[in-house]
Structure 1
């Protein structure tokens, strides 16, 4: 087997974290995806580096195994030097192939709902963990005439622990009235205007696979919102007893979709109702599918007072608070419903 025909198998092998060379008549790939060659020792270099990579060399029967201290990098070239049985050294250059993987996909939340002109943030969701540290080079906000809204985003990059959700903050210095940037440059969003958020096709997943297509999301700016959410205006649709029908909440405005996953809890007496939460893509409704059937009785929906709408107003007060006014104490808000006999 020739070296070029080994590269795809090598890509699989290297991604598993070990490069192996074993004594054999000629270079080949064995049945478990290892590179085999006659030799007595091995050194591995990254690219044209003069210093070998850190790692562990071990022998197992006739095998010589090199395990790198850090994983091999897909797309990188390596130089492998191995010792022949006559004591001389031979060199082979290898390129680690990228693993075959599907291109990631992207979605924006909330979607299909107007944003208040003083909106603070929204979220990008990806199907795979994404490349980090580059988001300002991969996104742009455009007006309908095609011009770019400069300085639209806060430079802080906030990813979820799994690397699949990016919180995009519109620059708060421009979105909050009365501060210098808002006065000098104006808000990012203007009431009544429509914008497009564009993601570059070359934004890669953590595995190195690009999106492969440009994503465009539409944003319509509505009136500014300085009012706190009012749970008393929400509509509760109670499920039927002895079913696993969802408990449904309909809001009078879109709320922060990420916070909705943890800000609402249902209980019966002292017992929490466990189940699966679903938040609508427009962030205007929430539902809970219980893990077990609903028994009849009285229930409470416990609402975290820090739950925000899209403009950052929460149950304790508006985002643009009067600093001269005393802070409101945190209070838990309850919505009650009953499932009859």
Structure 2
């Protein structure tokens, strides 16, 4: 359907900004009279107003309102024209669960509701909370919450709770970040436990103590009322119960990892066993495998159980020869210790010559 831009007029009445649309259309097709929704994936981008809504669409005057109150002001937006009708695109996206009213010269000529996400194929839920293991160091730095659909941002402080064994909420456990740390499609949220309370001898740590205490049990709870970006609530709460263990004050050591090397002429996986859980969000972003010519090997990485291992499945069968795994030193364990330094290390006291490489390397050979 081809559309073209038409004129838009703003006017004022009773100190409110109203939105006027001056239309011009020459209709050559049989008119239709049903308002419909323009969708992109699961987003309602706008309303399609058929020319058959009014007898004479030439110079027709439409306004779009939230339904339910005759005093609701018109909604700001753009209108474009095609041979069969008009497309209204609001300045603020249409909201699921809301009903909208179309008026012509002030009189209602139709309504349409934006449906909530259907239960089938579009269920909103928490898919996983990382780390997945249930014994976590008392200096744990981050949680990651993975959702099935994009979520509304800026709502974690009122929808995420950390409870102690008495079911009391632990206030100030999380770092209040604005904006929140979401991935690009808003399905993965990073929750930082307050580093100022985790690092010993800092004022927040001395005054409030660490968020977690060795030997104590906790429950991370995600509220059922949290809404998705396109509408609808989770509908049920999700929780992760865990126990705090001793502090982790040792950096990951790649030289100690256990490597399971595949055979040549196969697409079998290369497996790295870390012997401990590592940071979920970094695991698929810090590894590169190169052959003896320095060319990167194409394939897919798959994180293992409890984030304690990873597998690489090559796109093409392995060839015989020497390979190297390059690991970016920013890779961290659950306490924020990376390959170069401990989370609590004072970097200001280190000279430039003492700084380690940004890349760690592990060599291996593919044989028959």
Band the TM-score falls in, shorter-chain normalisation? 0.7 to 0.9
2:284 — aligned with what?
261
Aligned counterpart in structure 1 of residue 104 of structure 2, from 79, 82, 102: 82
Residue deviations 1:242-281, cap 9 Å, x none?
1111000001221111111111111112111111101124
1:104 — aligned with what?
124
TM-score by length of 1: 0.85
When residues 108 and 180 of structure 1 are mapped into structure 2, their CA distance, relative to the original with a 3 A threshold, is same
2:186 — aligned with what?
163
When residues 232 and 113 of structure 1 are mapped into structure 2, their CA distance, relative to the original with a 3 A threshold, is farther
Aligned counterpart in structure 2 of residue 277 of structure 1, from 294, 301, 310: 301
1:3 — aligned with what?
none
Is 2:266 the counterpart of 1:250? no
Aligned counterpart in structure 1 of residue 146 of structure 2, from 112, 116, 125: 125
Aligned counterpart in structure 1 of residue 351 of structure 2, from 302, 306, 326: 326
Answer whether contact 2:117 2:123 (CA < 8 A) is retained.
no
- Give the unaligned 5+ runs of structure 2: 1-33
Deviation at 1:150, TM superposition (A): 0.8
Q: Secondary structure at the match of 1:17?
A: strand
Aligned counterpart in structure 2 of residue 184 of structure 1, from 207, 212, 226: 207
RMSD over aligned CA atoms reads: 2.3
Is 2:42 the counterpart of 1:20? no
Deviation at 1:68, TM superposition (A): 2.3
TM-score by length of 2: 0.79
Matched residue pairs, number? 316
Question: 258-267 or 113-122: which moved more?
Answer: 113-122
Answer whether contact 2:95 2:231 (CA < 8 A) is retained.
no
Which whole-Å CA distance do the structure 2 matches of 1:222 and 1:241 have between them?
Answer: 42
Deviation at 1:204, TM superposition (A): 1.5
- Give the unaligned 5+ runs of structure 1: 1-5, 24-35, 84-88
Answer whether contact 1:256 1:308 (CA < 8 A) is retained.
yes
Which whole-Å CA distance do the structure 1 matches of 2:318 and 2:85 have between them?
Answer: 62
